[in-house]
């Protein structure tokens, strides 16, 4: 990556399914929480669909008839299972090298995630990536994806224009957020959503694995 020919100043990553291999843990935690509550267990496909949304929005989508009295309990059961079985899911192999290289090349790096702040801070610490990111936005402190707020706030924070910002994510929610914020979107098809669903929303490209992601960034940012 050559600083003199940079096409972007700010690169924003989704977390789950993009940097961290946590998709299966999230799906299992949703399904386990449903069983705890005596609810119909959502299919893996439906559970994968809501990854990237804030937890409240995800559960509202999957369990629209859940009473307000039970909603808080459902959130608690999900968090119990996630922190029990997925306290420190691994990063995808090669992610650390990508982030270190971008950081050394002078890009502003940020995270926009459906995680809550406590969850993200824990993940940044356990993954040892926290020092490389200049900012982050979580779904419990602003609007959930695909609302553009996360990206708009990050661009405002760093005074970076939409045309100099790139969003990278593994879900249609990530890429629709990019469209709504009028920034470029790159899809990664190794996470929660299929390449078929991502391709129609990815304004730049869609890569199949971490090796392709590293190569694409070397060539295109």
pLDDT (tens digit per residue) in 117-162: 998 999 999 999 999 999 999 999 999 999 999 999 999 999 999 9
**30 and 16 in one domain?**
no
Task: Tell me the per-residue pLDDT of 35-90, one tens digit each, with 9 for 90 and over.
Answer: 999 999 999 999 999 999 999 999 999 999 988 889 989 999 998 998 887 567 89
**124 and 69 in one domain?**
no
Q: Of 51, 66, 85, which closes a domain?
A: 85
Angle of helix 23-36 relative to helix 68-85, nearest 10 degrees, comes to 130
Contact 190, 14 (CB under 8 A): no
Q: What is the mean pLDDT of the chain?
A: 94
Res 22 pLDDT > 60: yes
**125 and 16 in one domain?**
yes
Range of the domain at 73: 23-85
Q: Of 85, 102, 117, which closes a domain?
A: 85
Residue 68 is predicted with a pLDDT of: 86
Residue 192 is predicted with a pLDDT of: 95
Q: Which residues pair with 91 in a beta bridge?
A: 20
Q: pTM, whole model, 2 decimals?
A: 0.92
**163 and 67 in one domain?**
no
Q: Is residue 190 helix, strand or coil? A: coil
**65 and 14 in one domain?**
no
């Amino acid at each position: 990556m050559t600083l003199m020919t940079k096409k972007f100043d700010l690169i924003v990553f989704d977390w789950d399914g993009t940097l961290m291999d946590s998709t299966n843990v999230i799906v299992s935690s949703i399904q386990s929480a449903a069983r705890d509550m005596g609810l119909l267990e959502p299919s893996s496909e439906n559970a994968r669909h809501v990854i990237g949304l804030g937890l409240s929005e995800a559960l509202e989508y999957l369990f629209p008839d859940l009473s307000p009295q039970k909603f808080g309990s459902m959130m608690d059961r999900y968090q119990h299972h996630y922190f029990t079985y997925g306290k420190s899911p691994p990063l995808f192999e090669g992610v650390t090298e990508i982030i270190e290289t971008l950081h050394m090349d002078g890009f502003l790096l940020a995270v926009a995630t459906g995680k809550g702040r406590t969850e993200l801070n824990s993940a940044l610490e356990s993954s040892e990536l926290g020092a490389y990111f200049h900012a982050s936005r979580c779904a419990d402190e602003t609007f959930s994806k695909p609302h553009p707020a996360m990206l708009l706030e990050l661009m405002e924070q760093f005074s970076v224009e939409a045309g100099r910002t790139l969003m990278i994510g593994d879900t249609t929610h990530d890429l629709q957020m990019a469209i709504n914020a009028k920034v470029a979107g790159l899809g990664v098809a190794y996470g929660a959503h299929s390449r078929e669903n991502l391709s129609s929303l990815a304004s730049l490209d869609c890569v199949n694995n971490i090796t392709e992601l590293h190569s694409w960034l070397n060539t295109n940012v």
